Amino acid sequence: MKTTLSVIKADIGSIGGHIRPSRKLFQAVADHVEKHSKKLLLDHYISYTGDDIAILMTHERGPGDEQVHKLAWDTFMAGTEVARGEGLYGAGQDLLKDSFSGNVRGMGPAVAEMEIEERPGEPFLFFAADKTDPGCYNLPLYMAFCDPMNTPGLMLSPRMMKGFTFVIMDVSHTEGDRVIELNAPEDLYHIAALLRDPERYVVESVSPRSSGEPAVSVSTSRLHNIAGKYTGKDDPIMLVRVQKDFPATGEILAPYSIGPYVAGAMRGSHQMPLMPVTLNSGISFFDGPPVVSCAAFAMHHGILTEPADVFEHPFWDRVRDSVSAKAIDMRRQGFFGPAMLPMNELEYTGITDAIEKLDARFHVREERP
Ligand code: 13P
Ligand code: 13P
Ligand code: MG
Ligand code: MG
């Protein structure tokens, strides 16, 4: 029997702007899932990262299952009522449709799922990021699955040596899922050529060529493509299986020590470094910096252990210090140059409207004779 991992995540309201959900809201979500999941799920785990609440579920119903998705949708709807009652900011922010229709994809919440043949020991990682978009995982995934400088397993393990298949999505294509499959190592330069542009090309999944089993699943939704306007950054989640045919946990985590600049933070319109944080952390400085948390699990017949909070280790304190320094440095230059996103990625139309109006006031100077 195969096991399905489904994570569904949404921002349904938070304290003090976009900081974190209230305890009452978090508890309401946990209670709703507990009460309504008895016959449906094998297990579940609820967490928050910044202002987003994620429901990780294990079951045997396959990806995209209507009842599993409906449980998450109904939970977020019930949570939104609590958020409204408490006056939380952006109550129901990510619920972009009025009624549920079969699957939460395209309705606002982020989804990452995989159906797996459980190994005798099934270790996996659940990542959740806030104040950024799905391209934030491009660099860490490239390094972990393509680069022996980061991942010695690519040289040491005969099965990993066969390489990995990347499915990459062109998220600017709004009419449907435009995807390409590329193989590491032969297509390495092409993979890099796409992943260097994380606002347009986003890793959707990765699988080892030795087995084709799922290794990585990323939520690739672009909220402003769904809503047609800004509603919040996409704040992506990701599932990664580790060990044996897959990179070791440490090989997956190592790239997060870079604190790469990603799109996001204040008003979803800036470039700021990605900070690894502990589970259930809020955000702070300049509506950021963009944060990523990671819960490591072992699983047996769909039953989860408690999460190991991988970024809690003292090693990451030093990384957090360096990310804070990078964030402050970047903020010193305010709106200037690379501190902000290019025009087409700004999450507000105010500036484009203003520049359009100024356009009429531009004039071309007459040539002097
Ligand atoms: P163990 O020998 O502790 O199983 O570790 C193997 C490994 O993957 C370390 O990166
Ligand atoms: P969220 O997408 O996390 O709600 O953040 C929105 C925002 O504009 C922060 O400044
Ligand atoms: Mg929010
Ligand atoms: Mg958020």
Domain boundaries, the chain: 2-359
- Strand 216-218 to 237-241 pairing: antiparallel
Q: Dihedral through CA 8, CA 202, CA 210, CA 62, nearest 10?
A: 20
Phi, psi of 299 (to 5 degrees): -140, 140
Looking at the DSSP assignment, which residues form a beta bridge with residue 170? 201
pLDDT tens figures, 86-109: 999 999 999 988 889 889 988 899
Q: Which atom of ligand 2 is nearest to the CA of 50?
A: 3
Whole-angstrom distance between the N-terminal and C-terminal Cα of the chain?
84
Distance, in Å, from the CA atom of 169 to the CA atom of 3, rounded to the nearest integer, reads 25
Which residues are within 8 A (CB) of 90 and not within 5 positions of it... i.e. 6 or more apart?
A: 11, 13, 14, 18, 51, 232
CB contact at 8 A, 43 and 162: no
Reported as a single tens digit per residue, the pLDDT across 51-84 is: 999 999 999 999 999 999 999 999 999 999 999 9
Predicted local confidence at residue 346, as pLDDT:
82
d(C-alpha 128, C-alpha 252), whole Å: 14
**Ligand 2: residues within 6 Å at CB?**
11, 18, 50-51, 90, 93, 130-131, 232-233, 235, 266-268, 287
Eight-state DSSP code of residue 198: T
The answer, yes or no, to whether the previous bond of 185 is cis (omega within 30 of 0) is: yes
> Alpha-carbon distance 86 to 145, whole Å?
44
- In the prediction, which pLDDT does 28 show? 98
Q: For the whole model, what pTM was predicted?
A: 0.96
pLDDT value of position 232: 59
Nearest CA to ligand 1 atom 8: 248
Distance 252 CA to ligand 1 centre (A): 13
For the cut 60, the answer to whether the pLDDT of residue 230 exceeds it is no
Among protein residues, the one with the nearest Cα to ligand 2's atom 7 is: 267
The CA 235 to ligand 4 mean position distance, Å, reads 5
Give the closest residue (by CA) to ligand 1 atom 10. Answer: 248
262 closest CA partner among 233, 237, 299: 233
pLDDT at 247 over 60: yes
248: how many CB neighbours lie within 10 A of its CB? 18
pLDDT-derived band of residue 4, with 50, 70 and 90 as boundaries?
A: very high
Mean pLDDT across the chain, nearest whole number?
A: 95
106: tokens are 């395209």
Residues with CB under 6 A from ligand 1: 243, 248, 250
- What is the enclosing helix (H) or strand (E) of 294? strand 291-300
Ion ligand 4, residue ranges at CB < 5 A:
11, 50-52, 130, 235
One-letter amino acid at 256 equals Y
Q: Which tens digit of pLDDT belongs to each residue from 281-331?
A: 999 999 999 999 999 999 999 999 999 999 999 999 999 999 999 999 999
What is the predicted pLDDT for the residue at 175? Answer: 80
Residue 79 CA to residue 369 CA, distance in Å, equals 71
Indicate the angle between helix axes 66-86 and 23-36, nearest 10 degrees.
150
* Beta bridge pairs of residue 52: 49
